Amino acid sequence: MTASDTETAQHAKPSSFGRSIWCLFAGFAFVLFATLTMDKLLQTLGIFPALGQYTSDKPLLIATAYRVVLGAMGSYLTARLAPHSPMLHAMIGGGIGALLSTVGAIATWNQNLGPHWYPIALIVFALPQSWLGAKLFLRRAAKNAT
């Protein structure tokens, strides 16, 4: 390995790392923005109660459904932007999402905001929805490569 090869390899790693961070951030930003937008829309339509109020099962079933879809979309975006290993990037995002959902469940568990199945569902679906988003990207990428 020549000195210029070593220098190139050293410069590639920070760039790849930066792109990895960027793709994770982009996926999370998409999910956060889309989720907050949907929440606000459903609140405005009277389907969701005001923030901080008890929410019953039916609105939380709706919220779970669109959060899973939006989470898969965010993981698709993460996989698409990943500099390498799209599935790994999506699953890292899912792991971070599961961790954040766990923290949220613990923080709100005794606040009587709704049934306890809902925060548990967010934790349980974090990794499968991330896998699905990455799998959809990989299928599409393989289809486009042929």
Predicted pLDDT at 43: 96
Structure tokens belonging to residue 79: 């996989």
Counted domains in the chain:
1
DSSP per residue over 35-50, as a string? HHHHHHHHHHTTSSPP
HEC letters along 98-109: HHHHHHHHHHHC
Give dist(CA 86, CA 29) in Å, integer.
17
Expressed as residue numbers, the domain containing 106 is 3-145
Express each pLDDT in 51-88 by its tens digit.
889 999 999 999 999 999 999 999 999 999 999 999 99
Predicted pLDDT at 146: 82
Binned at pLDDT 50, 70 and 90, residue 4 comes out as: very low
Contact by Cβ (8 Å): 118, 54: no
